[in-house]
Structure 1
Amino acid sequence: MANFAKSDVPQFSVEVYQNEYLPEGGREVNAIVTVTATGGGTNGGMQSAARTYAQGSGPDAAVVIMVDCSGSMEYPPAKMRNARDATAAAIGTLRDGVAFAVVGGTHVAREIYPGGGQLATADARTREQAEHALRSLSASGGTAIGTWLRLADRLLATADVPIRHGILLTDGRNEHEAPEDLRATLEACAGRFTCDARGVGTDWEVKEVTGIASALLGTADIVADPAGLAPDFTRMMEAAMGKGVADVSLRLWTPVDTEIAFVKQVAPTVEDLTGRRSEAGPRAGDYPTGSWGDESRDYHVCVRVPSANVGQEMLAARAALIVPPPDGGTPTTLSQGLVRAVWTHDMTASTAINPQVAHYTGQAELAHVIQQGLDARKSGDVDGATAKLGRAVQLAGASGNDATAKLLAKVVDVLDVATGTVRLKAKVAEADEMTLETRSTKTVRVKK
């Protein structure tokens, strides 16, 4: 194991924001756990707490770009051309030494570069070769996204690296494989690599693309105009190159008779992690968070504690950031924080809602009511859609989520923000509705 300056390895910190006071008999404790990683992934990010590589001794990351090559990518022809240019731009952003490959996706998956079941190592020569290979990309055939992901998984598995990442682009619905086949693929790939997913144009299914990103702990977004693919791919690859620690889990330990009600990532996006728990010993469970660079994320943890009398206090949960060692031994703890419970007669103290908890509860509700409102709109339920999207406008305004407020204003006419009074627009551009749905889980952070 090579030695590095402390600054080469990302440093993690955990802060807990909560109202620890409960009334007599109170059982529910809510806390916002803020995790911040600094000092890693900014200068080539070659290290992780789980595995460290000497610079020049080998790649620390592997990336597979999956490009939709189905027949619809030729309509209009600029779509395929922009996809080729975007893939070339992403490859141009790779650090020297990073392993990479390009997959062309239709109703089957095929290796575009380098081929032979291998990954190439990024340098001037391989970038030029890859760009040349991209010229052969043409549009024909159907769409079976699961086959693309399984090929990417096989390719990434050949790299002995801590960071494995995919970028997936599609312009259509997954029409040539059963939904359960895609679900099985996502279950098989979860934890093996992360993946950002993008839909180009407006003929793809939002829930499919966001479902892929959610399952594989990546980001999802719409690129309505194909001309925007190159800058978006460049940003995605820059973010991937900034990752320094892989396979980080949020480990929650609770005492006897205490249970975790739910765990949600609430910033920068809302993502329910409750069902992804894996047991980690007595009264402890791990929740996957994926790969980290220089960034900060917030998690809402709700704990149910035993009923207690006034004056009692207890440790309700211990939150720790964990990475597995390469040899399968004892995990490394990067940082930890404590969630407490104190029972009191002071009603002012016990009924106060912590500002961070209140803010993110509202942000989670905002994401939920947007989805409900759009679903109601699609089903023709005008009253239901108006009520839910009106509540979304109210929540976005109250929390200062200006980006979401602007997206909502393209779907409804806002009559009064404070009361959530809105009127559905008679005509809404499909791209605007899909953008709101795709970005509905993006949150704004509370000022602490």
Structure 2
Amino acid sequence: MAEFSAAVYQNEFLPDGGTDVHAIVTLTCSGAGTAGRTGSGAAGEVIIVDTSGSMRPPTMAAAQEAARAALAEIVDGTWFAIVAGADRAMLAYPPVSSGPGLVEMSARTRAEASAAIDRLVGSGGTAISTWLDLAGQLFSSVPHVTQRHALLLTDGENRERPGLLDAAIRRATGYFQCDCRGAGTEWEVAEIRRIAQALLGSVDIIPGPQQMREQFAGIMRASMARGVADATLRVWTPQGAQVLFVRQVAPTVEDLTGRRTPHDALTGDYPTGAWADESRDYHVAVRVGAKAIGQEQLAARVQLVLGDRPVAQGLVKATWSGDAALTATIDDQVAHYTGQAELAAMIQEGIAAKASGDEDTATTKLGRAVQLAEQTGNHDATTKLGKVVDIDHDAGTVKLRRGVDKADEMALDTASTKTTRIRKGPSPAQPAPGGSR
């Protein structure tokens, strides 16, 4: 039985005339169980392997081994399929032409799927929209599969007409989640990140074939641990208030602001996808009308909702004060994650400027990224930045490196949204409307 809890970190005190309230809401799940075992519907997995002509024999062999490793992690009884992706998507397993496109995992189907993976060969182009569309069709062919997850591997750029991939992403958004991996260095990070972010998944580079097996197995293991099929972040604000933004800020930075769907006149829902035993942090920023010194107001009520049932709740408060010692303090959690969000933006903007030949902008952005990485204690980002720029710690300057390994640059780009946490102090007790499933 999954249990949820919420904690809020903020400085609730606003100065005279202050309007903007910032809070970090930490939501924690324990006892999530195994995907498809909660009684709210079955789990489904689609493994999508790039089989375009760019998949050279060593990469294809590694992809086949990785796909078999992912199969080994899928729990018996889970519905699954294997898709071969080239200039069109093909159902590699199960061998059906009508009816359900997924089969239940068992010792027999696992062996049959493994044999089908062995027969994959590389040929043709890359049309990722067709891969996503086929995955959606396969999931829809088994209506009682309600927890839907795909694992997508590609090694090259999408070669479709403009707009086709974006349309496919829109069709998949809100229907299934997708973790994406790029093999080698001939694929576009921004393109694959767009898929992963829209489909509430992760993106990363697999620089060498030897690393593929471990990544695939880990992704599938994590998916099988998500025993809570789907949860929603529900944010209520008072009449006249404005939600400035809602962001997931840990374990990765994901802007959810544009994903809001209205629940009622004062409340909006934001997708969070499936949950395992984990903790996530959300930065909620709200603008309220200024009130007189000494007045208090509830600025937001943040709930995690399963179906339409709240299972955890945090309250974001505002109190107007004339005491500068109270109002001038920025909460440590808010400050930390504000820096982490800016760090992600600076890395992505710096790499984009570098790619376009604008070295001055790239140097400025990546220099700021180095400062933020050090200030927020993001040692992984600091290490990855050090492979792209030369850092002069004494002078506080950076210089673009020449002859940077493209894999190092792509690794920095894909890791830009990964954040670090700081030690949390005690949070005021928050009333919870219920904590179990």
Write the distance in 2 (CA, Å) between the matches of 1:150 and 1:46: 23
Of the three residues 292, 306, 322, the one matched with 1:309 is: 292
Mapped to 2, the partners of 1:146 and 1:21 lie a distance apart of 49
Match of 2:163 among 151, 166, 180: 180
1:19-58 matches, within 5 Å, as 19-41=11-33, 44-48=34-38, 51-52=39-40
Segment drifting more, 239-248 vs 100-109: 239-248
The answer (yes or no) to whether the contact 2:35–2:229 under 8 Å persists in 1 is no
Of 177-186 and 298-307, the range deviating more from structure 2: 177-186
Would the aligned equivalents of 1:33 and 1:301 in 2 still touch at CA under 8 Å? yes
Instruction: Report the equivalent of 2:360.
Output: 383
Distance of aligned partners of 1:220 and 1:234 in 2 relative to their CA distance in 1, 3 Å threshold? same
RMSD: 1.2
Q: What one-letter code is carried by the residue in structure 1 that aligns with 2:125?
A: G
Which of 62, 86, 89 is equivalent to 1:106? Answer: 86
Aligned to 2:49: 67
Deviations 1:75-115 (A, max 9, x none): xx100111111101100111111111000001111100003
Quote the offset at 1:355 in angstroms. 0.2
Is 1:81–2:73 an aligned residue pair? no
* 1:151 corresponding residue in structure 2: 134
Query: Could you say what secondary structure the match of 1:286 adopts?
Result: strand
What SS does the corresponding residue of 1:179 show, helix, strand or coil?
Answer: coil
**Equivalent residue of 2:54, what SS?**
helix
Code of the aligned partner of 1:68: D
Within 2, Cα distance between the matches of 1:225 and 1:375?
Answer: 24
2:369 maps to 392
How far off is 1:227 after superposition? Answer: 1.5
Query: Contact 2:30–2:277 at 8 Å: present in 1 too?
Result: yes
Is 1:422 aligned with 2:402?
no
SS at match of 1:301: strand
Is 1:362 aligned to residue 362 of structure 2? no
Partner of 2:55, secondary structure, is: helix
Residue type matched to 1:352 in 2? T
Contact 1:392 / 1:420 at 8 angstroms: preserved in 2? Answer: no
- Taking the aligned partners of 2:109 and 2:287, their CA distance within structure 1 comes to 54
**Aligned-pair CA distance for 1:46:** 4.5
> What residue in structure 1 maps to residue 209 of structure 2?
226
1:165-214 deviation line (CA, Å, top 9, x unaligned)? 00000000111x22311111111111111000000000000011111100
Distance in 2 between residues matched to 1:111 and 1:125, nearest whole Å = 18
Residues 185, 407 of structure 2: 8 Å contact kept: yes
Distance 1:66 1:215, change over 3 A: same
Question: 1:393, 1:420 within 8 Å by CA — same for their partners in 2?
Answer: no
Q: CA deviation at 1:317?
A: 0.5
Q: Write the distance in 1 (CA, Å) between the matches of 2:344 and 2:396.
A: 15
Measured in 2, the distance between the counterparts of 1:182 and 1:11 equals 38
Q: Distance in 2 between matches of 1:379 and 1:231?
A: 34
In 1, Cα distance between the equivalents of 2:263 and 2:162? Answer: 31
Q: Shift in Å at residue 246 of structure 1?
A: 2.1
- Does the Cα contact within 8 Å between 2:35 and 2:147 map onto a contact in 1? no
Question: Deviation string for 1:400-446 (max 9, x for gaps)?
Answer: 111111100000111117x6411111110010011111111111012
Aligned to 1:96: 76
With over 3 angstroms needed to count, the CA separation of the structure-2 counterparts of 1:45 and 1:101, relative to structure 1, is: closer
1:174 partner letter = N
Q: Contact 1:391–1:420 at 8 Å: present in 2 too?
A: no
In terms of mean alpha carbon deviation, does 290-299 or 153-162 score higher?
Answer: 153-162
Tell me the distance in 1 between the aligned counterparts of 2:360 and 2:163: 33
Tell me the amino acid that sits aligned with residue 223 of structure 1: I
Letter in 2 for 1:38: S
Is this contact kept in 2: 1:163–1:243, CA < 8 A?
no
What's the CA shift string for 1:280-304, capped at 9, x where partnerless?
A: 0120000111110111111110000
2:79 partner letter: A
Q: Report the Cα distance in structure 2 between the residues aligned to 1:249 and 1:46, rounded to whole angstroms.
A: 18
Deviations 1:26-71 (A, max 9, x none): 0000000111111112xx35444xx546xxxxxx311000100000
**Alignment-derived partner of residue 351 in structure 1:** 328
Q: Check the 8 A contact 1:255/1:317 in 2, yes or no.
A: yes
Letter in 2 for 1:78: P
Matches within 5 A, 1:219-368: 219-324=202-307, 331-368=308-345
- Contact kept in structure 1, 2:36 and 2:78, CA below 8 Å: no
Counterpart amino acid of residue 315 in structure 1:
L
The aligned amino acid for 1:81 is A
Contact 2:35–2:223 at 8 Å: present in 1 too?
A: no
Q: Confirm or deny: 8 A CA contact 1:10 1:293 kept in the other structure.
A: no
Name stretches of at least 5 consecutive residues in structure 1 with no aligned partner: 1-8, 54-59, 325-330
Contact 1:118 1:158 survives alignment (8 Å): yes
For the residues of structure 1 that align with 2:35 and 2:230, how far apart are their CA atoms?
Answer: 15
Task: Provide closer, same or farther for how the CA distance between residues 297 and 62 of structure 1 changes in structure 2, counting only shifts above 3 A.
Answer: same
What is the identity, as a one-letter code, of the residue corresponding to 1:336?
A: Q
Per-residue deviation, 1:392: 0.8
Q: For 1:14, give the aligned amino acid.
A: A
After superposition, the Cα gap between the structure-2 partners of 1:364 and 1:244, relative to the gap in structure 1 and judged at 3 Å, is same
Listed one character per residue, the Cα deviations across residues 95-146 of structure 1 (whole Å, up to 9, x for unaligned) are 1111110000011111000032521211111111111111210000011101
Larger displacement relative to structure 2 (393-402 or 63-72): 393-402
Counterpart contact for 2:263–2:269, Cα < 8 Å: yes
2: distance between equivalents of 1:411 and 1:52? 47
CA distance in 2, matches of 1:195, 1:45: 15
